[in-house]
Structure 1
Amino acid sequence: MTSDASTVRFGRMAPTVPVSDIGKAVDFYCSVFGFTKTFENGSPAGFVILEKDRAELHLTLKRGHEGSTLNVAHLLVDDAAALYAHLEALNVRIVKAIRDADFGLRCFVFADPDGNRIDVGEPIHAAASPQ
């Protein structure tokens, strides 16, 4: 029997982001972005799932974690400029300023309190909802 992944339908895939302080990270993502905590594991918590609309983010405790120069997640939104302005108003660290990229996205990169970088994009020429 041969295997062919092209016949397998993929479902939701959610990034797991390491954080040094689960409580601080949950507070950041819930208060700044409006995520809701839908799952917590451990006492004290060592793993949390956050959800907002179609976006899901998993946070895992890694004591002493520091972010790197790599993006850990890509978030598609329907209004990148509005989110960018919101983050600027809250003094969230912007790593790369908003721009219209030649690959068809209005995009920017921000960092969470641990320095985890998240790339945000909005399709420029699409009227469809975020994927």
Structure 2
Amino acid sequence: MRESSPRGAAVRFGRMAPTVSVSDMAKAIDFYGSILGFTKVFENGNPVGFAILQKDGAELHLALHRGHQASACNVAHLMVEDAAALYDHLARSKVRIIKTMRDADFGLRCFVFADPDGNRIDVGQGL
């Protein structure tokens, strides 16, 4: 049996992309595309049950789960260069803000918004 290294020290990690459950794939793709500027780069199934969206260095996977119920926990953390600009854009676009923007003692300007399915996305910018 192979012994594991402490804390994964010997293993180099690459990109990690969260998968977000949605109840309506077309509505989710439209939201992330038209509001946040993501581009769909992959889809699978007929009807589409899985899609990959990308923008800059961010990647988001969407998985169709009819009857999906959102959690009270954040499902993804998005680091941005200008949290205030994104916050203002989302507010103008009437996106539901869960937690208003603040400068947190842990070194981030941050806020939380919800997608149309109620999935919570935590946004941060280093201070």
Supply the RMSD in Å over aligned alpha carbons.
Answer: 0.6
Question: Superposition pairs for residues 1-131 of structure 1, below 5 Å?
Answer: 1-4=2-5, 5-124=8-127
1:50-94: CA deviation from partner (whole Å, max 9, x where unpaired):
000000000000001121210000000000000000000000000
Count of paired positions? 124
Could you list the structure 1 runs, at least 4 aligned residues long, displaced by more than 3 angstroms after superposition: none
Please give the alpha-carbon distance, in whole angstroms, between the structure 2 residues aligned to 1:30 and 1:67. Answer: 20
In the TM superposition, what is the alpha-carbon distance from 1:47 to its structure 2 partner?
0.2
> TM-score scaled by structure 2?
0.96
2:54 counterpart SS class: strand
1:7 counterpart SS class: coil
Counterpart residue type for residue 120 of structure 1: V
For structure 1, the residue ranges without an aligned partner over 5 or more in a row are 125-131
For structure 2, the residue ranges without an aligned partner over 5 or more in a row are none
Identity %: 69
